[in-house]
Amino acid sequence: MGTNNKRGKFIRVLTLTVSAAMLVTAGLLAGAALSRERAREQEYLQMQTAAEVAPDVIALPSPEPQAIEPTPEANPASAAELIIAPTCQMIWTTNFTLCGHSREEMRQDRALIGLTEPEVRAATQGWAIETFSRVGLHFSRDVEAYCPDHVVLKSVPEGLGVFRTEPTTFELQQIMQFKLDTTFLNEETRLQLELGMPFGDLAEIEGYVESLES
């Protein structure tokens, strides 16, 4: 009898202990669930706050870009409106392609004063504009000839003629002649004389002709 009472007490105590443990576990689980819920609410509030603040940040005005004023050279319309000033310095360069020399002349063409670049191009056909500004013009042209510093020996019907480039027209003008039979010359020499052989001065030509006659 005494043994049964002890066993019953033990079972009741064990039951109460298990029940208390279950209550504690349930309380811990409920607390954990509540913590997760509060964390989700906190995260949601942070997202809402960020969404409300973000538009203000995005809407901040950006600095306006500074306007760059185009230079006359970069703006074709402005360049076309430039006109030649009365004080404009004009340089005219002629390149002689047969000898590779160049001649430069500084002279002012009054007819170009007050003209725009397109008008200057139309008025100076045959010349290329290297530099164009209101106070400075540089023209250039290529001439297929020897420069006036050379004298040229060429074959002519009566023998050999001496020519010099005319400084204004740049055409060869005969200045003297040698009577010489060129039929005895070798083919290479005859071909060179037909094209024209340049020399530095008349003395060089006279020495060369004497060498042909000897």
**Superfamily holding 81-143:** Bypass-of-forespore C, N-terminal domain (3.10.20.420)
pLDDT per residue, tens digit, the chain (214 aa), is 554 555 555 555 445 454 555 544 555 555 555 556 565 656 655 555 544 544 444 444 554 545 444 444 444 445 557 899 999 999 999 999 999 999 999 999 999 999 999 999 999 999 999 999 999 999 999 999 999 999 999 999 889 999 999 988 888 899 999 998 888 889 999 999 999 999 999 999 999 999 988 7
Q: For tokens 């003395």, what's the residue?
A: 203
d(CA 82, CA 38): 77
Domain-by-domain residue ranges, the chain?
A: 81-143, 151-213
